[in-house]
Amino acid sequence: MTGKKISKNLIWAIISLILAVLTVRIVLKQSRDLSITDLCALLKTSDKLYLSLAIIASLLFIWFEGTAIRSILKRAGYKRSPLQGLLFSTSDIYFSAITPSSTGGQPASAFFMIRSGISAGITTATLVLNLMMYTLSIIVLGIISIIISPKAFMDFGTASKVFIIIGFVVMLLLATGFFLLLKKEALIFKPASKLISFLNKTKIIKHKEHLLEKIERVRTDYKACSDLISGHHGVLITSFIWNLLQRASQIMVPMLVFAALGGDQSLMPTVFSKQCLITMGYNFVPIPGGMGISDYLMIDGFDGIMGSAMAYSVELISRGLTFYICVLISGIITLTGYLIGNRKES
């Protein structure tokens, strides 16, 4: 990574940290009777079995993404170890969390994949397919949530409903877009070639032929990987299952936290259903980690079934596990992998 990219990522990391602190402070202020001390006291008296399950589920979110990526790479002829898969996952999760609209996640994951010896074309096709399955899994879980609890959507406020509906439409459009990119590589590579030609004409870049040849090599690899994947439904099903498990593991956390804090266990399916819709409602928002919006949706969705005090507690603890702690762990693993890789290269 260049010094410029590192500086840019550092700036976004600082902005995300400020947003995180402000979000937590606002939520605590709105809850009035709740403080960090109260949350710690709640955790001490919580059901340790359910709390442990919530922690495990939040960590499985990281692991399952790496497994999904490895399953695609294996079909393309690139076997990678679980630890390498973990690095591909943590780099995506960390940089997605600190950049608007998760724009930094895939490039960061691609960096580590290419550095491990995977061609740029195979890397691009793998990430496009994984994004498609990731998006589809959110849509499917949203539909499942309505089946489990038909009234879950109606219990949200008007603003939340708008976010959820827009989120569903955006997820559907994204899934369609990723499918088209996977089947029609020209949608990616033709604009790239035209851009290089334009930059060459304006004297911004030189060696046009060399760059165009490089793009064509990447395009050939991309198409070969796309054709290989499209011809084997097994890899599509496998990657979808891993992505579905990844999303489900994260969505289960509020349900398990609710049970750990002494909530009515008969309401656990409803909490899960609401969190499915909540996830759909904030995923499209161009704010790092959906901070602020996700918190609002959780409190609005949970208030009606568990009361205001419990809703704030579940929201803060769940977000702490699924977002803040996961991002911190992902950042540490990514930095460690980056430094180890640099040492090996030197």
Q: Above 70 in pLDDT, residue 283?
A: yes
Q: Above 90 in pLDDT, residue 87?
A: yes
Q: Which two tokens stand for residue 183?
A: 């089947």
Average of pLDDT values for 94-104?
Answer: 77
Average of pLDDT values for 293-306?
Answer: 90
- Contact yes or no for 298/311 (Cβ under 8 A): yes
Q: Which two tokens stand for residue 37?
A: 């001390």
Q: What is the pLDDT of residue 292?
A: 80
How many angstroms separate the CA atoms of 98 and 19, rounded? 10
Q: What is the pLDDT of residue 2?
A: 43
Q: Above 50 in pLDDT, residue 307?
A: yes
Q: What is the pLDDT of residue 16?
A: 64
Q: Above 80 in pLDDT, residue 102?
A: no
Positive or negative, the CA dihedral 68, 73, 75, 78 is: negative
Q: Write the CB contacts of 322 (distance below 8 Å, at least 6 apart in sequence).
A: 58, 61, 250, 253
Full DSSP string of 143-196 = HHHHHH-TTTTTTS-HHHHHHHHHHHHHHHHHHHHHHHHHH-THHHHHHHHHHH
How many angstroms separate the CA atoms of 157 and 275, rounded? 14
CA distances from 62 to 58, 118, 298 (A): 8, 21, 22
Q: Write the CB contacts of 172 (distance below 8 Å, at least 6 apart in sequence).
A: 139
Q: Between these two residues, 17 and 319, which has the higher pLDDT value?
A: 319
Q: Between these two residues, 166 and 40, which has the higher pLDDT value?
A: 166
How many angstroms separate the CA atoms of 291 and 283, rounded? 10
Share above pLDDT 90 across residues of the chain, in percent, rounded to a whole number? 42
What is the pLDDT confidence band of residue 346, given thresholds at 50, 70 and 90?
A: low
Residue-wise pLDDT for 120-153, tens only, equals 888 988 998 898 899 999 999 999 998 988 888 9
Q: Between these two residues, 298 and 2, which has the higher pLDDT value?
A: 298
What is the pLDDT confidence band of residue 112, given thresholds at 50, 70 and 90?
A: very high
Q: Outline where the chain has alpha helix (H).
A: 3-31, 36-44, 48-75, 82-98, 105-115, 120-148, 158-183, 186-201, 208-230, 233-260, 268-282, 293-306, 308-319, 326-345
Q: Between these two residues, 12 and 69, which has the higher pLDDT value?
A: 69
Q: What is the mean pLDDT of the chain?
A: 85
Average of pLDDT values for 72-83?
Answer: 90
Q: How far is CA 207 from the centre of its chain?
A: 37
Q: Above 80 in pLDDT, residue 89?
A: yes
- Contact yes or no for 196/215 (Cβ under 8 A): yes
Q: What is the pLDDT of residue 200?
A: 79
Residue-wise pLDDT for 166-216, tens only, equals 999 999 998 888 888 877 877 777 888 888 888 877 777 777 887 888 888
Q: What is the pLDDT of residue 224?
A: 76
Q: Above 80 in pLDDT, residue 225?
A: no
